[in-house]
Chain A
Amino acid sequence: MSSHRGSSSGRGAGGGAAPPVDDGISTRTSDEQKAIEDICVALFRNFINTDNQVGGTTFIRLHRDRLLPCLMEGLTRLPACMSGLDASRGWFVFWITHSLELLNYQLDDATKRNVVSFLARCQHPDGGFGGGPGQLAHLAPTYACVAALMVIGGEEAYRCVDRGRLYSFLMRVKNVQRGGFDLHEGGESDMRGVYCAIATASMLHLLTDELVDGIPQHIAACQRWDGGIASEPGSESHGGYTYCGLAALTILGQAQHLNLHRLLDWACHRQMSVEGGFQGRTNKLVDSCYSFWLGGILPVVHEALRQCGEYVPPSHYWISPMALQFYVFLCCQDPRGLLRDKPGKPPDFYHTAYALSGTSLSQHGPSGRQEVTGHPDNRLAPTDRFYNVRFDKVRMARDFFAAQPPFTTAEGHKGREGAGVTAYHEMLTLAESSSVGGGGVEDGRVEEIIDSRGTS
């Protein structure tokens, strides 16, 4: 098994020589790392040697036919073994509807109405959303439910949110003493809360000065010695928290509070040389959910640097999209349908949603350059880097809320979208108008236009 390790080039998704994992001194970390590398290499070889010839196709495929039935089934019913996720039902709605959207699957109107009416039942009478009916409002399902409503789209979905009460919920959980947001009243406070609060408020055009006050400083205080961001000051850099902190700050148009170059360096090193996917922390194992949490950091840094007036590559986001897609398509598709963390783990909706989201981001580079690995049908719809909702749906929601009278608090604070999001869309509009000859953009066709710019 070990004869090929670290010696020959071309091993693994990254296409390069694998570094010697253990330098001759094994520890638990290096043992586990070796084991997963061997499994992934076996899967890559298996594809090259068998699938490729016996199946009569040279394409790597994302098996939509297996995914769709699982997603549709899950949108209605889930088995008893998922009872432990009863406080995350709003998340299930988001993971599933968002995955379907990335696969370009259209829900019928009756299903959309049922989804909206379920999400309405998750909304707490005092504002915000709980993990399910009857539960307390919590920032994570609040983000998930609002994002799911954006996915569904349309006035009925948007009007389902009680924005005034949601705003007062956000102000109630803002924790000035700890610097961020408590996930719920009396709950823990970490970087998830910051992202969920800021992203939700921005999606609904509810950001005010009083809500944002002190938040950029808090996020900056959580950037660690290696460049990543932690859940709270002092903890370890982590892909999920880094995405949350960076995306929140960039939504606000305040990314200059971070050391972006150290962060970028840390993030680039998280892509695994052999497996091709991302790890969430230094010296941890690859996991497909970080396809988004890490893979999503790169386009956000790209826009953050641009807004800070720095040079960014015009055609890519630094990492290897092909290696990432090798990992997702060849190592993470479970024969039963959904996607998994890594080989040997059971598949689930969470990993399906985030593996697909990260794949989508990796396929759509800046200037519309597309990098789809394998069969052309593997192309997913583009997702938004800030909210992780399909790009055209974000555009629709922005237009709707921009046309509403602005939300105003009793003290006269005016709600708005994040300045970084506004600047990003202004840049896109400019780029679009120059590429289509100043003819303007039809709603919902942005992705095609971005795509066409890349090929023209």
Chain B
Amino acid sequence: MKGAAAAAADQKIGAAAAAAAAAAEHDDTDDADEVWPSSNEELWRDVTPLSTVLDEGPHPVVEIDTSPQFRRAHALLYALLSAGERSQRALDLTREVIHLNNANYTAWHYRRQILEGMEGEWDLADELAFSEEWIFDSPKSYQVWQHRRWLVEKAADPSKELEVCASVLNNDAKNYNAWSHRQWVVRTYGLWAAELAFAEAMLQEDFRNNSAWNHRHYVVSHELRSCSGQEDQISAIRSREISYASSWLALAPHNESAWNYLASWFAEGGERHTAERRPWSEIPNELEDRIASVVASHPRCRFALEVLAKVASARGDGEAACQRWRELADSDPVRRRYWEYMADRERERERERTIALQQTGAGAGSGEG
């Protein structure tokens, strides 16, 4: 752990991470000789530990071979919890249990209950630092992020959050909890200003990072909501986003995230047409040509073929669409059955179109007669 703080600073992962790393470093050196509350017999003379946790009897079921400290700390914690105690010793014990198993949601929840009951006797900044240590220790834990949300709400201070998230994402660019926390902070406190740039920076780092594409969509959706139905503004944003996706596709035509992002601005068969989602038949010519050239150089690129199939389908050219679906079935064997199903649906639509056409024709005919 020595030097972790310095290393973190070196890698420019942000002051928050450096501080957390420093705290963790500090904590680790303390660890060996830390006297945990459960070992203090005197402190718990009046508490009867939950016996079923200490000893599970002669017929164990999924019994984990936990340490004596683990059992005693948990047995004490659950005893205090059921008695509803709100005290400093209970708070200290939650810290011990969290140290032993940070996925123990009961301990985190109990910790919040105790803190609520001891209003004014604890420092929000200390607790924020505590939660930050745990975020960097276990960034995939649901509990640490939930505790963080609770604290940010309590402090009504989101000022450190974007930086904390950025640091976590610097180590693990697709961390689901960190992105979700960031989005929660952004929408709850209206911190939208720098988010498009953040998503852009993450995409510059790795343009295949789907989490970053999702973030861009999240931010742009907010922008669209603020247009309050102004169709020309919406249409301008939509064009901008289509160009954005296209430019990344020009660079790397097998990046599925960019294809999906592009497709999100088009309505497929059966979907409602809106200013944000226009039918595939309205695809700009230049874009269609570019996709056709992707297929020319990569005849098995399933994403490009799928777009061409949908464009043909939207134009009512069932035959051309079926041709594309068949190419997909031949070149993408894992999804062969899906592409055959798409071809079946295409033929069904074609049949319905023909019937509709005949009926219209018959109607027109009778009108003339």
Q: In whole angstroms, what is the CA distance A273 to B147 when docked?
A: 40
In the assembled complex, B154 has its CB within 8 A of some CB on chain A: no
Q: Please, how many residues of chain A have a CB less than 8 angstroms from a CB on the other chain?
A: 87
Interface size on B, residues (CB 8 A): 84
Q: Does B78 contact A (CB under 8 A)?
A: yes
B334–A319 contact, CB under 8 A? Answer: yes
Contact indicator B176/A283 (Cβ below 8 Å)? no
Contact between chains at B113 and A89 (CB < 8 Å): no
Query: Does B210 lie at the interface of the complex (its beta carbon under 8 Å from any beta carbon of A)?
Result: yes
Judge whether A377 is part of the interface by a CB distance below 8 angstroms: no
CA distance A184 to B146 in the complex (A): 11
Instruction: Provide the residues of chain B in CB contact with A281, threshold 8 Å.
Output: 174, 210-211
Q: Is B333 within 8 A of A15, CB to CB?
A: yes
Q: A323 at interface (Cβ–Cβ under 8 A)?
A: yes
- In the complex, the answer to whether A75 meets B50 with C-beta atoms within 8 Å is no
A319 with B62: CB separation less than 8 A: no
In the complex, what's the smallest C-beta–C-beta distance from B52 to chain A, in angstroms?
5
Q: Is the interface of A mostly helix, strand, loop or mixed?
A: loop
Which residue in B100, B214, B270 is a CB contact (below 8 Å) of A235?
B214
**Which of B31-39, B86-94, B102-110 binds A?**
B102-110
Which residue from chain B places its CB closest to the CB of A275 in the assembled complex? B334
Give chain A residues whose Cβ lies under 8 Å from the Cβ of B150.
186
Question: Is B260 in contact with chain A by the CB < 8 A criterion?
Answer: yes
CB contact list, A1-59 vs B, under 8 A:
13-17, 19-25, 27-30
A226-B264, A234-B187 known; A77-B65 Cβ under 8 A: yes
Given contacts A85-B103, A271-B334, contact A23 B206 (CB under 8 A): no
Residue in B53, B301, B335 whose beta carbon sits within 8 Å of that of A271 in the complex: B335
Q: How far is the CA of A74 from the CA of B60 in the complex (A)?
A: 10
The answer for the CA separation of A225 and B221 in the assembled complex, in Å, is 10
| Other-chain contact of A186, B112, B187, B217, B300 (Cβ < 8 Å) | B112
> B67, A80: Cβ atoms under 8 Å?
yes
> Please, which residue of chain B has its CB at the minimum distance from the CB of A281?
B210
Contact B300 A17 (CB under 8 A): yes
- Say yes or no: A319-B337 contact (C-beta < 8 A), given A27-B206, A261-B270: yes
Bound Cα distance A284, B210 (Å): 8
User: Are A76 and B63 neighbours in the complex by a CB distance under 8 Å?
Assistant: yes
**Interface residue A299 (Cβ < 8 Å from any Cβ of B):** no
Stretch at the interface among A131-139, A400-408, A440-448: A131-139
A113-154 toward B: CB 8 Å interface, digit per residue (1/0)? Answer: 011011001000000001111111010000000000000000
Q: How far is the CA of A319 from the CA of B331 in the complex (A)?
A: 14
B252 touches A22 (CB 8 A): yes
B263 contacts across to A, CB distance below 8 A: 226
Residue of B nearest to A132 (CB): B53
Task: List the B side residues contacting A187 at CB < 8 Å.
Answer: 105, 109, 146
CB-CB nearest in chain A for B345:
A311
Q: Which residues of B contact A93 (CB under 8 A)?
A: 61-62
Taken together as a complex, chains A and B put the C-alpha atoms of A44 and B254 apart, in Å, by 24
State whether B214 touches A237 (Cβ < 8 A): yes
Q: What residues on B are CB-neighbors of A131 within 8 Å?
A: 104-106
CB distance from A327 to the nearest CB of B (A): 11
Q: A121 near B52 (CB under 8 angstroms)?
A: yes
Shortest distance from the beta carbon of B356 to any chain A beta carbon, whole Å: 18
Q: Which of A14, A23, A28, A271 contacts B254 (CB 8 A)?
A: A23
Q: What's the least CB distance linking A239 to chain B, in Å?
A: 11
Are B255 and A23 interface neighbours, CB within 8 A?
Answer: yes
User: For A82, what are the chain B residues with a Cβ–Cβ distance below 8 Å?
Assistant: 64
Q: Are A83 and B105 in contact (CB under 8 A)?
A: no
Contacts of A114 in B (CB 8 A): 59, 61
Contact call B260/A226, Cβ cutoff below 8 A: yes
Q: CB of B180 within 8 A of chain A?
A: yes
CB distance from A71 to the nearest CB of B (A): 11
Answer whether A235 and B179 are a contact pair too, CB < 8 Å, given A118-B61, A130-B106, A282-B260: yes
Inter-chain contacts of B205 with A (CB < 8 A): 27
B344 at the interface (CB under 8 A from A): yes
For B254, what are the chain A residues with a Cβ–Cβ distance below 8 Å?
Answer: 19-23
Whether A96 pairs with B62 at a CB distance below 8 angstroms is yes
In the complex, what distance in Å separates the CA atom of A77 from the CA atom of B61? 7
Residues of B contacting A74 with CB < 8 Å? 62
Counting CB contacts under 8 A, is A78 at the interface?
yes
Say yes or no for A232: interface residue by CB 8 A criterion.
yes
Q: Is A231 positioned at the interface, with any CB of B under 8 Å from its CB?
A: yes
Check A276 for interface membership: any CB of B closer than 8 A.
yes
Question: A272 at interface (Cβ–Cβ under 8 A)?
Answer: yes
- A23-B252 in contact given A29-B208, A268-B335, A316-B337 (Cβ < 8 Å): yes
Q: Which residues 237-275 in B have Cβ within 8 Å of A in the complex? A: 251-257, 260-261, 263-264, 268-271
Can you list 20 A-B pairs with a CB-CB distance of less than 8 A?
A16-B331, A19-B300, A27-B206, A78-B62, A115-B61, A131-B104, A131-B105, A131-B106, A133-B50, A134-B50, A134-B82, A135-B105, A183-B142, A225-B264, A234-B183, A234-B187, A234-B221, A281-B174, A313-B337, A316-B337
Given contacts A17-B300, A231-B180, 20 further A-B contacts (CB under 8 A): A16-B331, A23-B251, A23-B253, A76-B62, A78-B62, A83-B67, A87-B104, A133-B50, A136-B109, A185-B109, A188-B142, A226-B264, A234-B187, A262-B268, A269-B335, A271-B335, A283-B208, A318-B335, A320-B334, A320-B337
List of 9 A-B pairs having minimum Cβ-Cβ separation, nearest first: A134-B78, A29-B208, A118-B61, A225-B264, A14-B334, A23-B252, A236-B214, A92-B62, A188-B146
